[in-house]
Amino acid sequence: MLLNFKSCEELRIIMAGFMSSDEEFPPLLESGLQRMNIAELQKLVVEQFSYSTSRVELWKNFSELLDTLARLKLPCDIWVDGSFLTKKINPKDVDFLVELPIEILSALNEDQKNLIDNLSRRAFYTGKKLDSYVKIKIPNQGHHYHAKALLGHNQWLKDFGQSYIKKEPKGIAVIEVLP
């Protein structure tokens, strides 16, 4: 079987993706919050990784969760991070944050509450390899928790917006889920 690589760098990245190490992989996005639709994210994190043995299954699990959020009518932004958003060939999981607007919290039904609870407890990690976090968006500056929410927002930007080891800037994919 003859394999064609565009460059030595592509071959190095592919080979490194199969090795287990603490090496960091180049990010797929420029620094900052990068809004995109689901099809654009899928193209970015799955379609260009034909050698991956994990990305298709991780994407399937992640997109099912996005469908569930939409079906349960939970409007939110999803911040995607971690090795899934790098050139690592076989990431182990999908790290993401669900940002929920505070306005919806007072009118949640049982299914919505259960899903949010499972997301906040990271219950989808075992089996699905979805490493979830939840944060509440409070845009109203007059709200008594606004300052605390802003601090949390900035901390998530810092944590998700830089590489884990070298602390170099990287991008965060943001997907809007509409009911």
pLDDT at position 21 is 53
When pLDDT is averaged across residues 3-32 and rounded to a whole number, the result is 64
Residue 19 domain flag: no
Residue 11 domain flag: no
Number of domains in the chain: 1
pLDDT at position 77 is 97
Residue 3 domain flag: no
Residue 160 domain flag: yes
pLDDT surpassing 50 at residue 5: no
Residue-number span of the structural domain to which 66 is assigned: 25-177
pLDDT surpassing 70 at residue 155: yes
* Residues linked to residue 27 through DSSP beta bridges, in sequence order: 86
Q: What is the SS3 assignment for 136?
A: strand
Query: 131 vs 1, 113, 128, 169, CA distance in Å?
Result: 36, 18, 9, 21
Instruction: Find out whether 27 and 170 touch, Cβ atoms under 8 Å.
Output: yes
Residue 62 domain flag: yes
Chain segment 87-144, per-residue pLDDT in tens: 999 999 999 999 999 999 889 999 999 999 999 999 999 999 999 999 988 877 777 7
Chain segment 16-29, per-residue pLDDT in tens: 545 445 678 999 99
Residue 5 domain flag: no
Residue 17 domain flag: no
Question: pTM for the whole thing?
Answer: 0.84
pLDDT surpassing 90 at residue 68: yes
Residue 81 domain flag: yes
